[in-house]
Each structure stands twice: as structure tokens, then as C-alpha cells.
Structure 1
Amino acid sequence: MVLADITGKTVLAIDVFAHSIKALINHLMDALEIQGTGVISTDIKWVLTVPAIWTDNSKQFMRKSAEKAGIQNDHLLISLGPEAASILCQYLSTEKLSSAESDFTMSKVGTKYMIVDLGGGTVDITVHEKLAGGCLTEISRATGGDCDGTSVDVEFIQLLTKIFGAPLIHAMKREQPETFHDLIREFETVKKDNYTIEEWED
């Protein structure tokens, strides 16, 4: 499988994923070294999350990419994104759960909640219930689709193309890729900001 950049140049997908994972590894290890922890990469159990709707082949691809990035197979765990998010929520205080009722707690046995994982590539939705002994059970099987942040980016680019014309957008991608990426990054920032309906109307 190959991926194409904005200029149309192709590269093996596994190389892109491996380099991305390697960059994350290096970033963490540099931070640990600065802090003087003495931790080395083989001390770490690496967990990579993947969309719940991914096939087994896609998960295996991620595992191979991680191994190519230098993570040993016995130090690697592939986890579904919604499951990882659900576990994280067990340790969050109610104050950090937006719009949660004052008496709501994730740790209470019998608590049922929906996990909506809005990612850049996919949206995954599942429902879990807290059991005794700190366990979780899946009430509703994870489902989702390609209605994600990247899809919004595509629509934004199509809108720009409609306004300014395809030749200009293609020329920007080809001749000024840094400018094009800056534009997309700025759009990403706007997407992440919290706006009320009134603010959008203004």
C-alpha cells in the first residue's frame, strides 16, 4: 500500500507509519532523559490505539509498522481507541467530565456510559457498563464510520476549490506546500475551538 502527498509523490504507507511512531518514541524518550528517570525504551509497554472499525489486517499493519519503528513485539499492545478512552475515564474526576451530573461517577458499579471517539480518521461509538472488581463490559458493540475530522478537512478544501478554482489550489499544493499545510493547520485550530451557535452566527 502506498500513500501520496499533496504533490502526488508516493511512498510506502508502512514507512510513513513507522516514521511517525518512531518520532513519538523519540519525543517521549528525550523527555524521560531530560527528567533523569533512567527509563529506557525496553522498560516500556507500548500501547497503540486503533479505530474499533479496523479489520484484523489493518491492526496487523499497525503492529508491523510499530516493529519497524523499533518496538519489540513482546513490548507492544494494540488497543481499540474506545476501550482505551473508557479506561481513562475511570480515573477522571466528575469535574473533568463535561456536562456530567454532580452525583455521576464512572467508578460506580452499574454505571452505563457511551464512548464517542471522534478521531481524525474515524468516529467510533460504543457503550460500556462498570462491573464489580473494576471490570468493564461492552453493552453495545463498537460501530462507526468515516465521518471524522479528515472528512471535514476534505469538505473545506473542496469549498476552497469551488471559490478559488482548482488550478490555484493545485498550484499551491505543488509550489507552496508549506503554505498549504499552514492553511490546514489553521483550520484545524478553528475546528478545535469551542464556539456557541450565537458566536458562529455573529
Structure 2
Amino acid sequence: MADFEKIIEAAKAELLPFESWERLPGETSSAFAAFGEYRDSGPGRTIKKAVDGYCKKQGVDPVLAGKRYRAWRAWSMQFKWRERAADYDRYLDRLKQAELRKLIEARGEVHRQVTDKMLQVVSKKLDLMDPADLAQGTVTAWVETAIRTEREMAGLTNGKESRMEPKQDELPFANEFEGL
């Protein structure tokens, strides 16, 4: 019966659960603590770096690090540390991306509120102005700025005026010929 249970645990470990960085069935507390050191040593992690960091933090004699390294290497293969650490890195990246997305959305809302206030001020100012006092260049600049801002807010442009450079063997055409 014990062999059958080991086979089941091995099959479960092969599949790796969704949160594979959690303690696995059959993983001792020492093996899991060692995995935690390995997992938390970052994307450039190696077993040697994790062992060295652990020994330094714990004040373990460097001579004993070799024995610890062999045990950790065996555990890393048995409990698939590399895959689990990669799963953990992806999980942390997803959390960071979600936080960044929330921040971007919040900033976007603040920008919309500021833009609305600015447009209200400009609208009031325009209502008070005499159109005869406006120079043609000023009106044109205002219209271009308003259109560009509106397009950027709608997500139709990225806010950078990009000029299409012709590629090799490509003839540039003036905009007047578009749609012909």
C-alpha cells in the first residue's frame, strides 16, 4: 500500500498543482524551506547561490555547504524546483502587471478629470472672446490641438506624430491621392 501512495504522490508532483510553489505532498519541512531559499533568490537563481546565501544568513560553516548543496540538489530534482520557481516568477509577474494596470487606469481617470476641467475653462474663455480678435494661425493651431487631443483620448493615436518613411522600392504618395 505504501508503494501505491508513493506512486500517487509522484503522479501529483508530475502534474504540478496550480500553485506549485506551495509545499508539495511528501516534501519535508527542510526541503520546503530550502526550496523557499531557492525560489526567493530571484530569476538568476542557482542551487549553489541559494545554498551560499542560506549558509551566510544562518552562519553555517562553509565547509558544510557542500553537504547541504548535495541534499538541495537532490531535493531540487525530486520536487521540481526549477519549474516551481518559474511558476512563482510568472505568478509574481501577473500580480505586478495587475497592479500596474490598476495604476494606469487610475491615472487615466485623473487625466480625464483634469482634461475635462481644462476644456471647461477653455470653453468659457472662448465664449467671452471676440472672434475678430483671433488670428487665423491661432485658430488653426487650436483646432489642430483639439483634434489631436481628442484622438489621443479616444486611443486612436499614441500621441506621437509619426511620419511614415518610405521603405526601399516604395514610392511615397501625397495624401491627396488616398482613396483613388
TM-score range, shorter chain: under 0.3
Higher Cα Rg: structure 1 or 2? Answer: 2
| Higher strand proportion | 1
| Higher helix proportion | 2
TM-score, with length taken from structure 1: 0.23
TM-score, with length taken from structure 2: 0.25
Which is bigger in relative contact order (C-alpha 8 A, separation at least 6)? Answer: 2
